[in-house]
Amino acid sequence: MRYFSTGEVAKKLGLSLRTLRYYDQIGLAVPTIKNDSGKRYYTQDDLLLLEKIILLKSTSMSLKDIQKVIHQVTIKKILTVHKEQLKIQLNQLQQSLQHTNTLLNILKLEGSLQWEQLLPLFSEEEHNGRQERKKVVLQHLFTEEEQAILAENLPKMEEDPDQLTQWINLVKRIELCLEEGKAPDSQAGQLIAEDLVLLSKKIFGDNKQLADKFWEARKSEATASDLNLYPVKQEVIEFLEKVLGVRDA
């Protein structure tokens, strides 16, 4: 039978020597061998017990409660607890990824980041409030079928699809036209109009009524905010309306 020293166990399981000594002192995980000089040696079964303790402790269970149930926990229960922990960690990682993508996409649009503007984005209270307002406004403006289309097809700031990059580039191109004084009926303006129509088709298809309803909501600063749409400068929206007007004339 193989025996592991306290140092080997600490390194193998990521526990401190102090923790191992404490578990021994309270009778939670007593090593199979303790010699007269105080050295502790653990068996493979001792390691398994310690791994159970680590897993149960990760669920925020107190050491006192762990001590009561540790020898009653089945393999199925351990795997079930481990699965739940992995789901929580996966959810946390997914949220972190979404937050990072949101920051990157804001950076693409704005060119810089202001922390006083960004921190509220990741406040749980702010997030819940925005989601509730969005739900109410969506129900007020759109049918259930239209909501489903928007939910599936609208590009999201927390994701990184090619379509979102195309929209960001479109906004930047409009801003460049405004800086250079190019008119909506210029070649650059009409190329933007063509690209806008193509991008809109990816979201709305041939549903012109939904496209018009969404555009009206997009033009309203208050409604766009309630729908949790990224704010677009008013001059950009006005330019878009003009280039489309020229195209449809």
* Region 9-19 average pLDDT: 93
The per-residue DSSP string of the chain comes to ---EEHHHHHHHHT--HHHHHHHHHTTSS--SEE-TT--EEE-HHHHHHHHHHHHHHTTT--HHHHHHHTTT--HHHHHHHHHHHHHHHHHHHHHHHHHHHHHHHHHHHHSS--HHHHGGGG-HHHHHHHHHHHHHHHHHHS-HHHHHHHHHHS--TTS--HHHHHHHHHHHHHHHHHHHT--TTSHHHHHHHHHHHHHHHHHHTT-HHHHHHHHHHHH-HHHHHHTTPPP--HHHHHHHHHHHHHHH-
> What does the mean pLDDT of the chain come to?
83
State the residue for tokens 């330019």.
239
From residue 3, give the alpha-carbon distance in Å to each of 18, 47, 162, 172: 19, 10, 56, 66
Predicted structure pTM score: 0.53
Task: Tell me the average pLDDT across 98-116.
Answer: 70
The neighbouring-strand residues paired with 40 are 34
Residue 217 confidence (pLDDT): 87
- Cα distance between residue 128 and residue 117, in whole Å: 17
pLDDT of residue 231: 72
- Find the radius of gyration of the CA atoms of the chain: 29
pLDDT at site 157: 66
Backbone φ and ψ of 41, nearest 5°: -135, 135
- Which residue would you say has higher pLDDT here, 59 or 141? 141
Q: Six-digit token pair at 134?
A: 């969005």
Instruction: Say yes or no to pLDDT of 115 above 90.
Output: no
Lowest mean per-residue pLDDT among 14-18, 49-53, 100-104, 210-214: 100-104
* Token duo for residue 103: 């920051």
CATH architecture of 4-73: Orthogonal Bundle (1.10)
Residue 63 in contact with residue 73, Cβ under 8 Å? Answer: no
pLDDT tens readout for residues 189-233: 999 989 988 888 888 888 989 988 888 888 888 888 788 777 788
Structure tokens at 61: 């269970």
Positions of CATH 1.10.1660.10 in the chain: 4-73
Q: How confident is the model at residue 183 (pLDDT cuts 50, 70, 90)?
A: very high
Burial (CB count within 10 angstroms: exposed 0-12, middle 13-18, buried 19+), residue 179? exposed
- In this prediction, residues 166-191 reach a mean pLDDT of 90
